[in-house]
Chain A
């Protein structure tokens, strides 16, 4: 400011303006300190605001990916467990069939084996009807009910029969979490359950000529189930690693958001104290400056 005539009024006005400025700075810092936020409104930092908005959106989306992955793991896990039990039971059927093929067995013991195989078939149908959250695991996109009827016929019809259940587990990354009954147990009439019924019937009726074909078919079904298990396992691994990645990303996003939006506490406290000191100094200077005038010195 140029040197000009100084008047009491201009001094007091300038002083007031300066005090106001100091007080406003202090109140901004106090605001930041009490709210813990650096950005209170978009104009505080437009660039920071857009980052904050994006980070928030990304966090919400990634959280959802993690939840989707949890659900996907549930589906895949349930399919995996069911398929493992199915495989054991199919192997048991194969053992029984081999035992029955042994020529030293009497008709009665073959009939007994036939009955056991029939029981195993029912148990396998039960496994084929496994449910996750009330929905058939192997039933495509059927809403409820069973994937297989009591005779082992695939009960789901229409588009639902081949429906894919998918989960989004990353940006633009979807994974199928189901596998349909026919894909695992074979398509009718070459499916596992028809084969088991035929086998049990052969054993019960004493028709013992065709064991070789039965055994080959059973081996084929075992391989099918193992393949399906492999697929499910691979997907399980992929979902798990995606979930891990999403969780890591979530941490990174949260810390980025905090960097953009939150105050640096020690720095802000130091700022606050500096401003307080400056304000106090301004106040005491004002108290001294505004006091003296020639009036005090004239008699």
Chain B
């Protein structure tokens, strides 16, 4: 081993510690960067040639240190776990938001909600029954019925507007999924190129993993490692990103009103499980239609009950068979043209009763008590089996409450899980400043020591070159 080779050992140490310091500086600089994974210099002792040859002899002492690369200190399993949990959370958050907005649309329990208006409507019939010839009581009833119908329509309208809104959101989210998939493919390309040329594309990988995590919020994905440090991203088993190419998704609304996410290349529906997209798809195709149907049920039950009883009665001028409500459901329920603005045409009297007879109004008022099997329909209305609109509406609200409560709980639990997984992942991959300071100290000290070693070798050579063999001078 030559003196000069000791100098190169010192030099390798200087290089390596410098790299170590640089990386520490990079870590500190990114202490608060989202998605950043801490890095370490991978130092390898240069132990000399593995297979000695004639001109490559080795005296057993190492030749310094080599920088093998910089590595990201992360746990691939934790990353994957975090991605999965985020997908689940993304879906549940949307479900929670949508149910919250539906709850706001109904505005129960209150003195102004549909339940209160239904009660008001029934009470209006009692007022008419008390004073069947009073046009004021009749007009008041018509007003209440009209308010009730308007409110049913506007609740239905706000629910279906919410649905349209969510379909729009799905389209926007799909655009952002496509954009993220393209970016991931581009980053994959950069990573593969860097890896092939022997570089450590750590920061590119961080950026890509951050994008993958964001993508997981939006749509449920499976991530598979591929060659050269790239990853494949699968949605429902089909590749959204394979290596350096990305597919695109689009949103289509079928003739039956079902909204699906499809692969643009062949139009096949994609299986979306998890992520905000899954939540939106579920809300649009199932949650909101469910409540629309239930509201329709309330409206048409009310229409049928009231019309059935009303048509059997007789108005102030002796006409019978008058329909009270018109419309096919909650979307278009309204007063029928027969009674709108014509208080005389309310059939308060039973057929064949006197003009001031109020038997039919009494029957209609008693529909308010038409609640459940424990409270059987009033006399003469046995054909009205099943629950009245009040009961159906209550069932709707309770169902909504239970569903929304469950969604809130699921979000609470899932965000805790997601937070913990993120915390563990962060703990693994995040920057600890104390640790970096310690590393900084050790690299700094090692650098100083290497410099001192170099000085020592230098002084040895100096001694040898300048201070030995002076006899002949």
Q: Please give the residue numbers on chain A whose beta carbons come within 8 Å of chain B beta carbons, in ascending order.
A: 1-2, 4-10, 13-14, 17, 39, 41-47, 49-50, 52-54, 56-57, 60-61, 63-64, 67-68, 71, 133-135, 140-144, 156, 158-161, 163-168, 171-172, 174, 261, 293-295, 298
Interface pair A168/B366, CB less than 8 Å apart = yes
Which residues 96-137 in B have Cβ within 8 Å of A in the complex? 99-100, 103-104, 106, 108-109, 111, 115-116, 118-120, 122-123, 126-127, 129-131, 133
Q: Please give the residue numbers on chain B whose beta carbons come within 8 Å of chain A beta carbons, in ascending order.
A: 31-32, 99-100, 103-104, 106, 108-109, 111, 115-116, 118-120, 122-123, 126-127, 129-131, 133, 349, 352-359, 362, 365-366, 368-369, 375, 378-379, 390, 393-394, 397-398, 400-405, 407-408, 419-420, 422-424, 426-428, 430-434, 437-438, 441
Nearest residue in A to B440 (C-beta to C-beta)?
Answer: A298
Q: What is the bound-complex CA distance between A49 and B433, given in angstroms?
A: 52
> Measured between C-beta atoms, what is the minimum distance from A174 to chain B in Å?
7
Q: What is the bound-complex CA distance between A194 and B369, given in angstroms?
A: 47
Interface pair B419/A163, CB less than 8 Å apart = no
Query: Using Cβ atoms and an 8 Å threshold, which residues of chain B touch A54?
Result: 394
> Measured between C-beta atoms, what is the minimum distance from A160 to chain B in Å?
3
Q: What is the bound-complex CA distance between A67 and B126, given in angstroms?
A: 9
Q: Is the interface of B mostly helix, strand, loop or mixed?
A: helix
Q: What is the bound-complex CA distance between A119 and B43, given in angstroms?
A: 131
A8-B431, A53-B393 known; 13 new pairs, CB 8 Å cut-off, are A10-B427, A43-B402, A56-B115, A56-B119, A57-B118, A57-B368, A67-B130, A68-B126, A68-B130, A141-B355, A160-B355, A160-B357, A295-B433
Nearest residue in B to A63 (C-beta to C-beta)?
Answer: B123
> Measured between C-beta atoms, what is the minimum distance from B391 to chain A in Å?
9
The 6 closest A-B pairs by CB, nearest first: A160-B354, A42-B401, A46-B401, A141-B354, A43-B404, A7-B430
Query: How many pairs of residues, A versus B, come closer than 8 Å at their CB atoms?
Result: 196
Q: What is the bound-complex CA distance between A299 and B131, given in angstroms?
A: 94
Interface pair A8/B103, CB less than 8 Å apart = no
Query: Using Cβ atoms and an 8 Å threshold, which residues of chain B touch A142?
Result: 354-356
**A56 touching B116 in the complex, CB below 8 Å, given contacts A10-B423, A42-B400:** yes
Q: What is the bound-complex CA distance between A9 and B357, given in angstroms?
A: 79
> Measured between C-beta atoms, what is the minimum distance from A38 to chain B in Å?
11
Interface pair A53/B434, CB less than 8 Å apart = no
Nearest residue in A to B400 (C-beta to C-beta)?
Answer: A42
A-B contact pairs, 28 of them (CB 8 A): A10-B426, A10-B427, A13-B423, A13-B426, A41-B108, A41-B404, A42-B108, A43-B100, A43-B103, A43-B400, A43-B404, A43-B407, A53-B108, A54-B394, A56-B119, A67-B127, A135-B356, A142-B354, A142-B355, A144-B133, A160-B356, A164-B359, A168-B129, A293-B433, A294-B433, A294-B434, A295-B433, A298-B437
> Measured between C-beta atoms, what is the minimum distance from B259 to chain A in Å?
25
Q: What is the bound-complex CA distance between A187 and B130, given in angstroms?
A: 28
Question: Which among A4, A141, A160 has the greatest number of chain B C-beta atoms within 10 A?
Answer: A141
Q: What is the bound-complex CA distance between A10 and B430, given in angstroms?
A: 7
Q: What is the bound-complex CA distance between A261 and B398, given in angstroms?
A: 15
Interface pair B426/A7, CB less than 8 Å apart = yes
**B123 CB contact (under 8 Å) in A64, A133, A293:** A64
Interface pair A41/B120, CB less than 8 Å apart = no
Interface pair A168/B108, CB less than 8 Å apart = no
Question: Which among A13, A57, A298 has the greatest number of chain B C-beta atoms within 10 A?
Answer: A57
Q: What is the bound-complex CA distance between A298 and B28, given in angstroms?
A: 15
Query: Using Cβ atoms and an 8 Å threshold, which residues of chain B touch A52?
Result: 109
Query: Using Cβ atoms and an 8 Å threshold, which residues of chain B touch A135?
Result: 133, 356
Query: Using Cβ atoms and an 8 Å threshold, which residues of chain A touch B390?
Result: 57
**A141 CB contact (under 8 Å) in B356, B398, B419, B441:** B356
**B369 CB contact (under 8 Å) in A7, A56, A172:** A172
Q: What is the bound-complex CA distance between A68 and B402, given in angstroms?
A: 37
Interface pair A159/B401, CB less than 8 Å apart = no
Interface pair B354/A158, CB less than 8 Å apart = yes
Interface pair B394/A53, CB less than 8 Å apart = yes
Q: What is the bound-complex CA distance between A171 and B367, given in angstroms?
A: 11
> Measured between C-beta atoms, what is the minimum distance from B100 to chain A in Å?
8
**A53 CB contact (under 8 Å) in B103, B109, B405, B433:** B109
Query: Using Cβ atoms and an 8 Å threshold, which residues of chain A touch B365?
Result: 64, 168
Q: What is the bound-complex CA distance between A51 and B120, given in angstroms?
A: 18
Query: Using Cβ atoms and an 8 Å threshold, which residues of chain A touch B437?
Result: 293-295, 298
> Measured between C-beta atoms, what is the minimum distance from B28 to chain A in Å?
9
Query: Using Cβ atoms and an 8 Å threshold, which residues of chain B touch A159?
Result: 352-354, 357
Interface pair B397/A50, CB less than 8 Å apart = yes
Query: Using Cβ atoms and an 8 Å threshold, which residues of chain A touch B426?
Result: 7, 9-10, 13
Interface pair A141/B353, CB less than 8 Å apart = yes
